[in-house]
Structure 1
Amino acid sequence: MNRKINQERLRQESFDVCIIGAGASGAGAALDAALRGYRVALIDRGDFASETSSRSTKLIHGGVRYLEQAIKKLDLAQLRQVSHGLAERRTVIRNAPHLAHPLAILTPVFSWFEGLYMTIGLTLYDLIAGHDSLPKGSWLNRAEALAKSPMLTGQMHSAVLYYDGQFNDARYALALAHSASEAGAAVVNYTAVTGFTQESGRLKTAIVQDQLTSETSEIRARIFLNCTGPYADSVRLLANSAAEERIRPSKGVHIVLPRETLASDYAILIPKTADGRVVFAIPFGDKVFVGTTDNDYENLNQEPILEPDEVDYLLETVKPYLANAPHRSDIQAGFGGIRPLIVSSRADTKTLLRDHEVEYDPESGLLSLLGGKWTTYRVMAQDAIDRVAELLSKPVRSSTETHYLVGGENYRFEDWQLVQTNYGLPADVCKHLMRTYGTRAQNVAKLAEQYPQLASKLTDSQPFLKAEIVYQVREEMAVTVRDVLARRWRLELSNWQLTAELAPKVAELMATELGWSEAHQAEQIRSYQQLLETFVKQAGLSFEQSVMAPI
């Protein structure tokens, strides 16, 4: 994905559809439209998946909580949502097996009745899922549960085991955008829509500003598709100032604890919380993510960050389920995201449906893809592009259900051994490359072979290779230090201290590749480290040393 070439395409070409927002739904829609042969532009005011789509719980699931509510309330809409999610779960895993995989989840229970209740519910969950590649669940006694997850509390009666999917959300969205690019879409990040021009009341061009240079230009398209998630209303109002707001944003946060908190590959589901949600503790890399919360969020101009009361809530929630309760001092990072809930007459965001809607504004002609969740991104995108097809009077069927994403086709994790044999890289590096780039891992290894100065790790404690930074700039459109550390790698999510320490090393390699001035390089480091320092302070945390590393 070459940003300069694609920027020129945005200026010179006329598109069938311009998709605004390159998170899960937008990148998914771009791939769907490009595979149908439409002329596609995909833009985002930030990086790919830089907002909600990189800050999920990292689960691909039908929604255990939705199933419980559907049964209790005889709510067919919620049951349908669970069914959609479980049907798509297998597709998400199949199409990018390097980025998504099955995850075993234990639900500790404290009585025989509670165990029976959860077993019946999760058995129904498996039945709705039908025949897929995920193992079926079972009811384990205390000894069996402790053998699988030794840090669980000995006070539990038993535990119910079931399976869902886990994935690397930011890299999955990037793979969608990258796949769309290879299918012919003009894909550009850091390009914000500031307005529209109209002709006979219909949108004609989008006025956009390059967020790196402040240059403005126009994108010509027959249809504009708004896929900006919780920010959808701002684009809807740019197109039609009389439009009614449709999105009710909800904030969810996670805290990040050491892997030793669980000391297991098994996640845990906490089915009872003070506010009626479910909370997960999930192993992810060398850390454990605990979340999430659910609160109204009004200030969309500010990045959602971890706050002290949210830290307390999650620590208190997980405490009864572990033999050794984690403390504030154990927290190494955290992150917050915003759910794009569709406005409903129901008052509580926890009860709002996360199903999606494709809205057509007859006044401006703007299409908006509203609501939804990561698991059903492909169906959401398909529905949106089906509507685009109608408006273009150019019907072509979707083919995304069986389309492998970049790095996914013919993927076998065991091939890390071939990378090691062919390029002589350490085993941990080769395994990391396979899980991150799939079948493109050898492309990164070739860079390390071609430039020996890039063949070493960035730090001894992580498998990150210097060559990856160059690859991410050249092939994955990384243009800021945060693009690399937060999304191409997921270090910002898991370790704020180490992220700050590595920022100067990443900036140095990016500066060489992108031709940064010394002043720009220093500003990249300074602004990012200050942001990390803000995260620590706002969460009410403190580390032994400042997050700010010397520049």
Structure 2
Amino acid sequence: MNRTQGLQRLQKETFDICIIGGGASGAGCALDAALRGFKVALIEKNDFAAETSSKSTKLIHGGVRYLEQAFKNLDFAQLKQVKHGLEERQIVLQNAPHLARPLPLLTPVFSWWEGLYFSIGLRMYDFFAKGDSLPKSRWLSKKETLLRMPSLDAKKLHSAVLYFDGQLDDARYCLALAHAASEAGVAVANHLQLIDFEKDGSGKLTGAQVASTLEENAAAFTIQASLFINCTGATADTLRLKANPALRHRIRPSKGVHVVLPYEVLKSDDAMLIPKTSDGRVVFAIPFEGQLLLGTTDTDYTELDLEPVLEEKEVDFLLDTLAPYLAKRPDKSQVKAGFGGLRPLLAADASDSTKKLVRDHEVEHDAVSNLVSLLGGKWTTYRHMAEETIDKACVLLGTERACQTADHVLVGGEDFAFEDWKIIQTVYRLAKDIAKHLIRKYGSRAHKVARLTQENVAWAQRLVDKFPFIQAEVVYQVREEMACTLRDVLARRMRLEIMDWEAAREAAPVVANLMAQELGWTQAQKQQQTDKYLQLLHSFIQSAEKGGLR
């Protein structure tokens, strides 16, 4: 992906479809539309997956809780959501095998009756997932459970039910979608903000006024397209009202936070589903990138101009929820990092609590402005959501073209073989953990990253100790993956920011030096980039310290 070329195309060409928003929904729509032969533009005001799409629980699933609610409340909408999720789960896994993989999950139980209840429920989950490649659920004995997860409280434990879902690196998966869209012909640019729409005499959208956010006082220009699609997630109402101020609000943002703890807290490569919480939801404890990810919460959020961050009461809730299952209670001082994200929930009734809202989606067409908005949804069903959206685009553009994304392998998934890490280790003389990391994150293109260590031997060095990230990745991410800022690299293309704030702070100056060389930053620009990112990390750490986390 080349941002300069993308900007040139956006200024000069006229498009069939312009998609606004570079999260999973927007990138998914862009790829779908391009594969159907449309001329497509994809723009993102921040970075790909910068908001909701990088701040998920990293699960690909149908929704165990939705299944339970469907049968308890005879709610067939929830059942439909589970069915779609399980159908799409297999596609997400197969189209990017380097970024998504099966994940075993344990549900510890404290009595025979609990074990029977969850065993039956998860057998039903298996039934709706029939035909896919994941192993089926089974009821484990206490001994089997403790062998798989030795940190559990053996005195309380009766047994556990084991089942399988999928896990993904959400930010890099979204990036692979955007990258695949670019390679399919889409004109792509991140850090390009919509200022306003241009309209014809009848109020129909004809253009999008945009400007780069990377330069001060950047000159605005207009993207011309026949159809505009709004894929901006939790902020979708802002664009809807720009297009047509008479529309009513549709999105009910919900805040969800995660904390990151040391791997040793759970001591397992299995994840844990905690089926009972004090507010009637579920919580997951999941191994991710050598750490333990614990989340999530579910509360209303209205301050859309502010990034959601960890609050003390939320951390207490998550740790209090996990503690009864473990022999040793986790301590707030063990929290290494954390993050907050927003779910773009669709609310029919303002009195509904966010945890009762279905994670469903809707493709809305405003006849006055001709804006199409993809509202709501969840990560697992991004492809299905995109398919419905581009189906609608076909109708509006007066053509009929079939979706081709179900078996379209994403960037890095072509001819992927995990065992190729051994070749990388041998050929480029890299440590075992580094070679495995490169294969898992770049797939069949890991060789392109490793080859950079021959261009400059210093680029084989780690960014920080105890993590497998190397300097060559930063260079590759700038050259090939449209990384423009330190946070683009450290939060999304690498996941260091969400794993360990202190490690990210240590790596920042090294990343800044590498990016400055590649992007031609002046000393002042490099210092400005570094200071901005370090101030952000400092605010996260300071907030944690106020909450007694460190």
Query: Would the TM-score normalized by the shorter structure come out above 0.5?
Result: yes
Q: What is the CA distance between 1:536 and its match in structure 2? A: 2.1
Matches within 5 A, 1:311-326: 311-326=315-330
Unaligned runs of 5+ in 1: 545-551
Q: Which residue of 2 aligns with 1:52?
A: 52
Q: Which residue of 2 aligns with 1:407?
A: 412
* Alignment partner, residue 27 of structure 2: 27
- Per the alignment, residue 175 of structure 2 pairs with 174
Tell me how far 1:541 sits from its aligned partner: 4.6
Aligned to 2:536, which of 519, 531, 540?
531
CA-based RMSD: 1.0
TM-score by length of 2: 0.98
- Give 1:183's aligned amino acid: A
8 A contact 2:43–2:190 mirrored in 1: yes
Aligned residues: 544
Partner of 1:444: 449
Match of 2:469 in 1: 464
Measure, in 1, the Cα distance between the counterparts of 2:45 and 2:250: 21
- Three-state SS of the structure 1 residue aligned to 2:344 is strand
* 1:549 corresponds to: none
Does the CA contact (< 8 Å) of 1:89 and 1:165 recur in 2? yes
Where structure 2 has 5 or more consecutive residues not aligned to the other structure, the ranges are: none
Is the contact between residue 256 and residue 289 of structure 1 (CA under 8 Å) also seen in structure 2? yes
Match of 1:147 in 2: 147
Q: Which whole-Å CA distance do the structure 2 matches of 1:164 and 1:516 have between them?
A: 44
Q: SS in structure 2 opposite 1:221?
A: strand
CA distance in structure 1 between the partners assigned to 2:241 and 2:205 by the alignment: 13
User: Normalization by structure 1: what TM-score?
Assistant: 0.98
Tell me how far apart the structure 2 counterparts of residues 146 and 322 of structure 1 sit (CA, whole Å).
11
State the distance in 1 between where 2:409 and 2:396 align: 28
Identify which of 263, 270, 276 aligns with 2:267.
Answer: 263
Deviation at 1:503, TM superposition (A): 0.4
- Show the 5 A alignment for 1:322-471: 322-345=326-349, 347-471=352-476
Structure-2 separation of matches of 1:327 and 1:32: 45
Matches of 1:68 and 1:537, distance apart in 2: 40
Cross-structure match for 1:302: 306
Instruction: Output the CA distance in 1 between the equivalents of 2:383 and 2:219.
Output: 33
Is this contact kept in 1: 2:234–2:253, CA < 8 A? yes
> Structure 2: which amino acid aligns with 1:196?
F
Of residues 498-507 and 523-532 in structure 1, the stretch that sits farther from structure 2 once superposed is: 523-532
**Other-structure match for 1:483:** 488
**Counterpart in 1 of 2:75?**
75
Would the aligned equivalents of 2:464 and 2:506 in 1 still touch at CA under 8 Å? no
Contact 2:205 2:369 in 1 (8 A): yes
In structure 1, distance between residues paired with 2:53 and 2:378: 9
Aligned-partner Cα distance in 2 for 1:159–1:452: 49
1:429-462 CA distance string (max 9 Å, x none) = 1111000100000011111112222122222311
Asked if the contact 2:277–2:321 (Cα under 8 Å) also holds between the matched residues in 1, the reply is yes
Is residue 244 of structure 2 the alignment partner of residue 240 of structure 1?
yes
Q: C-alpha separation between the residues in 2 aligned to 1:403 and 1:542?
A: 47
Q: Distance in 2 between matches of 1:353 and 1:108?
A: 26
Structure-2 separation of matches of 1:141 and 1:38 = 55
Task: Say whether 1:66 aligns with 2:66.
Answer: yes
**Matching of residues 180-259 of structure 1 within 5 Å:** 180-200=181-201, 201-213=203-215, 214-259=218-263
> Aligned to 2:147, what secondary structure does the other structure show?
helix
Offset at residue 215 of structure 1 (A) = 2.4
Amino acid at match of 1:151: S
Report deviation, 1:543: 7.7
User: Any idea what the Cα deviations from partners look like across 1:466-502, whole Å, max 9, x if unmatched?
Assistant: 1111100000000000111000000111100110111
- Give the 3-state SS of the residue equivalent to 2:297 in structure 1: coil
Structure 1 residue 15 corresponds to structure 2 residue 34: no
Structure 1 residue 101 displacement after superposition: 0.2
Is the CA contact (8 Å cut-off) linking 1:329 and 1:541 kept in structure 2? no
Contact 1:48/1:189 (<8 A) preserved: yes
Q: Deviations over 1:396-445 (max 9, x none)?
A: 10100000000002111001111122222221111110001000000111
CA contact (8 A) 2:311 2:547 kept: no
In structure 1, C-alpha distance between the alignment counterparts of 2:298 and 2:214, rounded to whole Å = 33
Pick closer, same or farther for the CA change 1:254–1:543 going to 2, 3 Å: closer
Q: Using the alignment, how far apart are the partners of 1:71 and 1:40 within structure 2?
A: 42
Are the counterparts in 2 of residues 225 and 366 from structure 1 also a CA contact under 8 Å?
A: yes
